[in-house]
A and B are shown apart, each in its own frame.
Chain A
Amino acid sequence: MIINTPAYTVSDNIPLDENNEEFITAPAVYEPSEDTFLMLDVLELDLEQVISTRLSKTNKVVDSTAKCGPLLVVELGSGFGILTAAISKAFSDTLSSIAVGAHCIAIDMNPTACRKTIMTCKLNDVEVDAIRGDLLTWMRHPETSNVNNGSNKEVYGPIDILLFNPPYVRGPEGEQAPTPTVIDAKDKEANDRKLASIEDGAWLGGGPDGVDVLKRALHQAADLLSEYGVFYALMIDYNYNALVRDEMQARRDRTDQNIYHDDLNSVELTTFGSSPANRPLICTHILSRKVPGENLSVYRIYRPIDFN
């Protein structure tokens, strides 16, 4: 096994650490469920191969070790932090023979989820950073903040592995997850109401095809993924159908005569990112599972290596 299911607890009143007072985990953080475990199975199935065939290409220096990394891993909507804990543990353990390590950052809008993620990681003896934020809007953009190596090549983002189990259920058009507001510690009742609305709202907002939040994430990811980076995203059948439908519509509206790299398991996504034509993404099916009422699938989204 590369990826082991991490330990986690759903009980209340767990101290964060000995220096901190206890806090109460609100019940409305999305609990690990079939979709979470499908993501874990996909990492087990796909990650080692992705590291050795794609991410290892970032090694520009040829030196004593052939390992790749360190890699930057980001999870969006981390909730309980199961995926972040599992991948972080894998890098310090089963994947340590092929990668020197990873820095993991978990994102959630819900402050309780941020804490829950840190707790789950502590329980599994891994250190991660959590950020309260909206998808990738907190991240510096590569073109405005160059790192040390000033190469004149096309600038890619810093994220090597991006994970997202998005709010995928259909919602009324235009319905958005409520934006969390500053919480006033004095008025506990109003406070709790606000928190509850943030938590309930966090898995709404998918729009009529359940895919609005994922599309926003894809736009940002297209600019922020590293050259060989990969984005694992969970969708249900009508989410994927909507993505394909939008892509076909965009192609019909276009005047150029591009050749697209589609096949039975993949579709090229040409509309995401700030310069989509230069760096199209491929969305490839990895694994599906039927659960009552839903057909869940995980896709890997990445730039084809041999694309010119």
Chain B
Amino acid sequence: MKLFTHNMLSSKVVNGVKVGYPLRIVAKDIKISESEFDKEFVKRIISKINWKVFVNAAKQIGYGKDLSEELINNYENNEEYLKKVHHLLMEVEVMNGELICPETHRVFPISDGVPNLLNED
């Protein structure tokens, strides 16, 4: 599970949950893979994510300590910054761990990189 995907996940499937977003991550295993840096792709994908949730998720798994909760000005032209975002969004993958519902604290396991968001009760 990459952090871009995490940015889309909610636990609204659980009965009684109002928003269920964002899910807290507890990572046991992290895999780093390499993917080609495409400046245009990263620049534009930033507008599709909830930035604050992304930064907090990165911090929960031990990354992104130098990222602030606000997007910096003029990030479009800051290649270093975009490369950092690319790495965290596309190359860092949580292989095993847990996702935790912010309202009910219900745990959703992540195994072999696949989060299980089924409501199994």
Chain A residues near B (Cβ < 8 Å): 16, 19-20, 61, 65, 67, 69-70, 72, 100-101, 103, 105, 109, 111, 114-115, 118, 127, 129-134, 137-141, 144-149, 158, 179-182
Q: Are B9 and A137 within 8 A (Cβ)?
A: no
Q: How far is the CA of A146 from the CA of B50 in the complex (A)?
A: 7
Min CB gap A64→B, angstroms: 8
Contact check: which of A100, A111, A131 meets B5 at CB < 8 Å?
A: A131
Q: Which 6 pairs of residues, A with B, have the shortest CB-CB distance?
A: A138-B117, A140-B10, A133-B117, A137-B13, A129-B5, A132-B116
Contact check: which of A61, A72, A137, A180 meets B48 at CB < 8 Å?
A: A72
Cβ contacts B34-50/A at 8 Å (1 or 0 each): 01001011001111111
Q: Are B40 and A67 within 8 A (Cβ)?
A: yes
Min CB gap A216→B, angstroms: 13
Q: How far is the CA of A119 from the CA of B48 in the complex (A)?
A: 27
With A139-B8, A141-B12 known as contacts, the answer to whether A148 contacts B47 (CB < 8 A) is: yes
With A105-B8, A138-B10, A139-B8 known as contacts, the answer to whether A147 contacts B47 (CB < 8 A) is: yes
Chain B positions within 8 Å of A141 at CB level? 10, 12, 19
With A100-B44, A101-B38, A138-B10 known as contacts, the answer to whether A144 contacts B118 (CB < 8 A) is: no
Q: How far is the CA of A61 from the CA of B44 in the complex (A)?
A: 9
User: B27 at interface (Cβ–Cβ under 8 A)?
Assistant: no
- 9 extra A-B contacts, CB within 8 A, seeds A133-B118, A138-B9, A138-B117: A19-B31, A70-B41, A111-B114, A132-B115, A141-B19, A144-B19, A148-B49, A148-B50, A158-B8
With A105-B8, A130-B113 known as contacts, the answer to whether A100 contacts B38 (CB < 8 A) is: yes
User: B80 at interface (Cβ–Cβ under 8 A)?
Assistant: no
Cβ contacts B2-39/A at 8 Å (1 or 0 each): 10110011101100001111100000000101010010
Q: Are B114 and A130 within 8 A (Cβ)?
A: yes
Chain B positions within 8 Å of A181 at CB level? 120
Min CB gap B17→A, angstroms: 11
Chain B positions within 8 Å of A127 at CB level? 33, 35, 90
Q: How far is the CA of A5 from the CA of B118 in the complex (A)?
A: 30
Cβ contacts B91-115/A at 8 Å (1 or 0 each): 0000000000000000000001111
Q: How far is the CA of A131 from the CA of B4 in the complex (A)?
A: 13
Contact check: which of B38, B53, B90, B117 meets A131 at CB < 8 Å?
A: B117
Q: How far is the CA of A140 from the CA of B51 in the complex (A)?
A: 14
Chain A positions within 8 Å of B53 at CB level? 145
User: B60 at interface (Cβ–Cβ under 8 A)?
Assistant: no
Q: Are A182 and B13 within 8 A (Cβ)?
A: no
